[in-house]
Structure 1
């Protein structure tokens, strides 16, 4: 029986009741049954707590500017599953995904796969059939035991390491850093994108034998009037335009992406002639990714972001600190495994009024608004808030309360961003 894409996705959720099942043996066995073809001539894997999606988008834009044929795999999606697999700048269509799922199902036999593992194998399968120059793969969870790690990356990027998914990855930054280091390979470049990485990450990369390049040590960022400068210790210095993606943290993401391309040039003859200054400049101007401080316009302006953990909230706070005055009305919803109080404390008094949105109808992991309200009362006792049954109601209330010159900031779970983007079409 031929299934539609939606039917395939529903089937994948039923066939393995575990949404997360870390480990590579099962997914690698299926990939080997499918022939385990290389997904592209070169592979860049991007892991980290935050900044992965933005870094992938910048890499895609820069490599495309260099004339490379690029495939990108990211997760989760916002509006449609097709967003997860991009080939040469376009989302994979339903028919390609369906055909790949059929091949995976035929190959797996009695081996169980999670929803994410089905999707990872589909991306690798479609990339292998697309004659790509470079595949850019975003790690879903952790690194060492994530399904993406069945592929040996030519260059690995670890953007940041912070406290998230602690039930799966460990209780502190050092332990989490060890897990994220697992995407690196001996003798191959590993780009560390944050200035103060945990010792666990650095030590693990050393044990692996990766050729580490660290932000602030091997490459650096200098902000200039009307742009910024990227410099590498081995010589290259680039004067670049500001990223089109908002937020101060995007300079660090851009710097890591450029460092990865610089490393790739040294090991790939066809890419050695890449004009790094030119492709980086074009890519920075062209890179776009939904719901990363995305402005939807209006007055009061509506901003949507997927920041959902304390580190991402600190980045949001830094961005708000650069903005002109005007009250901020937050639309916020979260999942049960997130540090909600940590997110709230990171933003603190920058939020003038919280509109808390229940997500329990969107996903079994969604928190009701009353639970968010309890957390807010503990984290920020003086905060002003209203509780709403869903994102739509919270957004409507925030828009009604906000005056001209103020802003509505909708953030938290991907479910919040998806709902806001759907209503703003």
Structure 2
């Protein structure tokens, strides 16, 4: 019998993995996923689900939804990607990661078919998650899209509800050059007759979703047309975010205290609330108390990490997986709520990101520690430092995240701030 580590080595080495090699790992259809699922007896039809797509916020949104269903007493599956420390973070039930034994046995069962099907790492992982949720007979599974939507391996389910967070420029080489094209790919998760919630109304993309929903006969709601943040109703600390939201139609005010503390979570929460209200109307038993309790304990219930995560107080040290234009914009806005003397930013990117679009967004006054994650797709730290210089970003280049973080810790005073961001892989190695 293979060990867990041997199984992981097989998955990483034998199967093309987008996070390591980039676009060449992406398949242009759902055939491989469907072939793998057929071998497992079509598990995707054996559990109810919610499908979550979007450029930013889909991970946090998925975790919040999972927390609410768990709190309401439902056996809740959660599939997300990528992972930060352990592959098994991708597949959870009620916050518990899938067992090592299941990962081993599923991979062994699939090995005879891998040569014929030649799936990607992500395709096999999706099949593994769906098999686990079916065997464990979850009441509902929250399924986060990997990339795009229309051709994403997860897009083989017919969910109870589809939810799309915001649309921003990311993976342009795969999803298109305009927000309209990118939205068209995300809109691919809208299914005939299945309600869809759009967290954030954006002028360039609204029409795309309206047209698609009309085609499929899907009821569509824009969360930020249903909710509004009350004036002075937002309070941010290093440990939590307090929100006061008004439901416009009902004229009811709701107060939430989140254990997630990026101000950018407000938009995600609105999408989550609209989704939950739709599901309550469809017969799911969830109370306002369940929602309030779940949002205050998302990390504990589901294991979410890496979203404005404070790991030290002196100096204040924050990890955030934000990495594209919209993500970095949100991080920079969040920095305005923080008090510090000097700011130290440890950052690195992958080669296929729109790095030139992101660099002008960073604060010029910070000291930078440019570094490179230990994956083939990582952008070389010297190149990054050279690209950053014309934007007024000054600092040193370091060959690894650990070297960069160590240097930042040596230079930072107790009342300074260290921010680690740029990609999941930078944050993962910082952890």
Distance 1:7 1:320, change over 3 A: same
RMSD of aligned alpha carbons: 2.0
SS, match of residue 132 in structure 1: coil
Q: CA deviation at 1:110?
A: 1.5
1:418 to 414, 425, 428: 428
In structure 2, the residue matched to 1:278 is 289
2:350 to 323, 330, 335: 335
Query: 1:3 and 1:283 mapped to 2: Cα distance?
Result: 38
Q: CA deviation at 1:404?
A: 1.8
SS, match of residue 38 in structure 2: helix
2:86 to 80, 83, 91: 80
Distance 1:116 1:279, change over 3 A: same
Q: Note if 1:12 corresponds to 2:11.
A: yes
In structure 2, the residue matched to 1:374 is 386
Query: 2:63 and 2:251 mapped to 1: Cα distance?
Result: 23
Q: Is 2:11–2:121's contact at 8 Å kept on the other side of the alignment?
A: yes
Query: 2:307 and 2:234 mapped to 1: Cα distance?
Result: 24
In structure 2, the residue matched to 1:205 is 213
Q: Is 2:32–2:123's contact at 8 Å kept on the other side of the alignment?
A: no
Distance 1:40 1:30, change over 3 A: closer
Query: 2:349 and 2:45 mapped to 1: Cα distance?
Result: 35
Q: CA deviation at 1:238?
A: 5.0
Q: Note if 1:383 corresponds to 2:393.
A: yes
Q: Is 2:143–2:154's contact at 8 Å kept on the other side of the alignment?
A: yes
- Higher deviation after alignment, 10-19 or 107-116: 10-19
1:307 to 312, 317, 322: 322
Query: 2:214 and 2:247 mapped to 1: Cα distance?
Result: 20
Query: 2:2 and 2:253 mapped to 1: Cα distance?
Result: 50
TM-score for both structures, normalised by structure 1 = 0.91
In structure 2, the residue matched to 1:98 is 104
Aligned residues: 411
Query: 1:225 and 1:340 mapped to 2: Cα distance?
Result: 31
Q: CA deviation at 1:26?
A: 1.9
Q: CA deviation at 1:58?
A: 0.8
Q: CA deviation at 1:330?
A: 0.1
Q: CA deviation at 1:38?
A: 4.3
Q: Deviations over 1:90-141 (max 9, x none)?
A: 1111101122223334566721210001100000000001121110011000
Q: Deviations over 1:319-358 (max 9, x none)?
A: 0011124211000011001122222212233x51111012
* Unpaired segments ≥5 residues, structure 2: 17-23, 236-241
Query: 2:43 and 2:127 mapped to 1: Cα distance?
Result: 11
* Unpaired segments ≥5 residues, structure 1: none
Query: 2:190 and 2:313 mapped to 1: Cα distance?
Result: 44
Query: 1:249 and 1:208 mapped to 2: Cα distance?
Result: 31
1:12-411 matches, within 5 Å, as 12-17=11-16, 18-38=24-44, 41-106=47-112, 110-196=116-202, 198=205, 199-222=207-230, 224=233, 227-232=242-247, 235=250, 237-267=252-282, 269=283, 271=284, 273-275=285-287, 277-288=288-299, 289-349=304-364, 351-359=365-373, 362-378=374-390, 380=391, 382-411=392-421
Q: CA deviation at 1:204?
A: 2.9
Distance 1:225 1:231, change over 3 A: closer
Q: Deviations over 1:25-68 (max 9, x none)?
A: 22112212321134664211111101111111111111111111
